Amino acid sequence: MPQLTPFFAVFSVAAVALYWAVPRAWRPGVLALTSTAFLAVLDPVDAGLMIGLVAWTWLARAHPAAGIGALVAVFVALRGLEAGQAIAPLGFGFLACRLVAWLADRDAHAPHGWWALYSYALFWPAVVVGPIHRFPEFVRDQRRQRWDPQLVADGLERVLYGLAKITVLSHWLVGVHLYNAVQLHLAVPRDAGTVLAECGLYGLQLYLSFAGCSDVAIGLGRVLGFRLPENFHWPFLQRNLSAFWESWHATLSLWCRQHVFLPVFSRSRRTIPALVASMLALAGWHELSGRYLAWGVYHAAGLAVLRLYRVHAADRLPELPGPLGQVLATALTVSFVVLGFVFTKNADPTAIAADLRLLGGL
């Protein structure tokens, strides 16, 4: 997690100071240069791979369908190798989504050059951890950019919030104190309650870490004059699974809707196959493995049931009014999501199967 390293702090200060110190016309070049330097220091090989992917995308702009196909093939190849997570470049999933979106919307973009795509795709605050911002908004922010003390102050405050989520809440409170407290009271041998507690802690720590990283990226983007989209909107307070996915990793969910759900739906004219395709794509984006595909199927099934309920039963069944209805709906949604973490918290298929057997005894 580079956001917690001394290098990241020193680099951020230097890159921001340099960006605002140079004349306006030089800033796109400075942004490209600092993004390249950031990646090169983290990992020169990864930097070369990512720059190569951006160059390929630019060369493929006249044939977007072929370019997207090649990007997907590279993505599957890197993710599908046995050591895929080790050889895939840092932030590879986020970069692939940006490049696919740029190619898919190529005809709608205003005329621009190579450096605009390069700066957008490798934008250093968001290149490793997201969110997945869109090219038109990035170019608009860069064109309208000016020094705004209030925006800079808001950005710095957001960075501090993000660092607090990662270090204090995720690592210290959940990762140390809550985990140790729960471990003291877990049943031995393990039972269904143990599995549920582990899933809950895993999901909470995952949320705080990811949301904190997004906060840091969004805050640094604001300091540079860019308004990156929100990525987490209190997902564990949502009252249904659809709203959860609009709030958890929101930019990835939106990307899946635009580039997977809508194309599949336009061809099939059926919602459930489009939902399944979207969730499988989202699962494969994280990791091409049996456990993540099972997690994707699990959430696809939940979304399909929600869709069928809305179409066939929502008008016939009374809805609980007021705060009670909100609490029950939210509790049901959170329970479903937390149970799904049984597939992803362990990499060992044997351990996953053992946990599923314990949960089956509830």
- Compute the distance between CA of residue 279 and CA of residue 161 in angstroms, rounded to an integer: 30
Residues 6+ apart with CB under 8 A from 362: 192
| pLDDT tier at 158, thresholds 50, 70, 90 | very high
Same domain? 27 vs 116 = yes
Pair 138, 209 in one domain: no
Distances (CA, A) of 10 to 13, 15, 17, 123, 270: 5, 9, 11, 17, 51
pLDDT at site 362 = 57
* Domain span including residue 311: 235-360
| Any domain includes 264 | yes
To the nearest 10°, report the CA torsion of 253, 258, 262, 267: -130
> Which of 192, 223, 254 is at the close of a domain?
223
pLDDT tens digit sequence for 5-14: 888 899 999 9
What is the DSSP code (8-state) at residue 235?
G
Q: State the average pLDDT over residues 133-158.
A: 92
Whether 241 contacts 275, CB under 8 Å: no
Cα torsion through 267, 273, 274, 280, rounded to 10: -130
Higher local confidence (pLDDT), 313 or 209: 209
* CA distance linking residue 47 with residue 177, whole number of Å: 37
The dihedral through the CA atoms of 61, 65, 69, 72 has a sign that is positive
Q: Is residue 229 part of a domain?
A: no
**Domain presence at residue 118:** yes
- Shared domain for 206 and 77, answered yes or no, is no
- The pLDDT tens digits of the residues spanning 43-102 come to 888 889 899 999 999 999 889 899 999 998 888 887 765 444 445 567 888 999 999 999
Q: Which residue has the higher pLDDT, 320 or 165?
A: 165
- Between 289 and 20, where is the model more confident? 20
Q: Are 153 and 66 in contact (CB under 8 A)?
A: no
pLDDT by residue (tens digit) across 280-313? 999 999 888 889 999 999 999 999 999 888 877 7
With respect to residue 228, please indicate whether it lies within any of the assigned structural domains: no
Alpha-carbon distances, residue 206 vs 6, 78, 198, 336 (angstroms): 23, 24, 12, 16
Nearest to 57 by CA among 103, 126, 3: 103
Q: Return the SS3 of 346.
A: coil
User: How crowded is residue 241: how many other Cβ atoms within 10 Å of its Cβ?
Assistant: 20
274 in a structural domain = yes
Is the separation of the CB atoms in 266 and 287 below 8 Å?
A: no
Q: What is the pLDDT of residues 211-263, one digit of tens each?
A: 999 999 999 999 999 999 999 999 999 989 999 999 999 999 999 999 999 99
Q: Where are the alpha helices (DSSP H) in the chain?
A: 6-21, 27-42, 44-59, 64-80, 84-87, 92-104, 114-121, 135-143, 149-164, 179-185, 192-223, 241-247, 250-256, 262-268, 271-286, 290-312, 322-340, 349-360
Can you give the pTM of this predicted structure? 0.91
Considering only residues 325 and 185, tell me which one the structure prediction assigns the higher pLDDT.
325
Asked if residue 211 is part of any domain, the answer here is yes
Residue type, position 82, single letter: E
Other CB atoms within 10 Å distance of the CB of residue 322: 7
Q: Final residue of a domain: which of 118, 143, 168?
A: 143
pLDDT range class, residue 340, cuts 50, 70, 90: very high
- Domain finish residue from 200, 223, 246: 223
Token pair for 43? 């990992």
Q: Is the Cβ–Cβ distance between 245 and 227 less than 8 Å?
A: no
| pLDDT of 269 | 86
| Domain contains 230 | no
Query: According to the model, what pLDDT value does residue 192 have?
Result: 83
In tens, the pLDDT along 174-207 reads 988 888 877 776 766 778 888 898 899 999 999 9
Mean pLDDT of all residues in 147-172: 93
pLDDT score of 74: 86
* Contact indicator for 39, 50 with CB cutoff of 8 Å: yes
Task: Name the pLDDT band for 314 (thresholds 50, 70, 90).
Answer: low
Closest CA to 346 of 304, 308, 294, 311: 294
Tokens standing for 1? 């997690």
Contact of 26 with 18, CB cutoff 8 Å: no
Q: Is 22 helix (H, G, I), strand (E, B) or coil?
A: coil
The structural domain count of the chain equals 3
Identify the pLDDT of residue 341.
95
